[in-house]
Amino acid sequence: MKKLNSINWVAFKDDKVYLEDVPITIGINIIDWLKQFSSLKYSIEQADYNERRKYITFSEYLNIVISSFDDVVTDISVYPYQFQSSPYYKGDIIIFDKKLEVPFLSNDIEKYFPDIKVKRPPSKVIDRFLPREALEYVVNDRVKLEISMGRSAELVGSISLKYV
């Protein structure tokens, strides 16, 4: 398998996230994965509240964040374009074989996640969600996708693959 030297597209498919053609899954050892599959510069930051929790970012792609606990991947997050916000991922984002239209409007969530449970229907009058509110889309008994609204509730701020 090739090594990452750029990330022009990210795809969420089943229980994996593909950075270009290189898959990454929840539960793998991130240090081994980085050595084997990445030639990109990256940084590892330790969480202030727990020295076992770390955040991995690629130097040129700060908007893709891999979280780990004891070097085991716990979630992978991508931050799509939001108005007046940075950093955001500038490449293509593909969700279950559909290319994401950016900005990712919260009223369009069902277009990409048809079976998702949402309390309120789309509206052109009032905000459907609260800022930073999150929805879960269960992929299987092990992982879920979490869709979090941005500071402005009409936009999705992040898409993350996480443990259930």
Question: What is the pLDDT at residue 125?
Answer: 80
pLDDT along the chain (164 residues), means of 10: 91 96 97 97 94 96 96 97 81 96 92 90 83 95 95 92 93
Q: What are phi and psi of 34, to 5 degrees?
A: -60, -45
The residues spanned by each domain of the chain are 9-163
State the pLDDT at residue 127. Answer: 80
**Predicted pLDDT of residue 83:** 76
Which residues fall within 8 angstroms of residue 126, CB to CB, at 6 or more apart? none
Query: How many angstroms separate the CA atoms of 38 and 133, rounded?
Result: 33
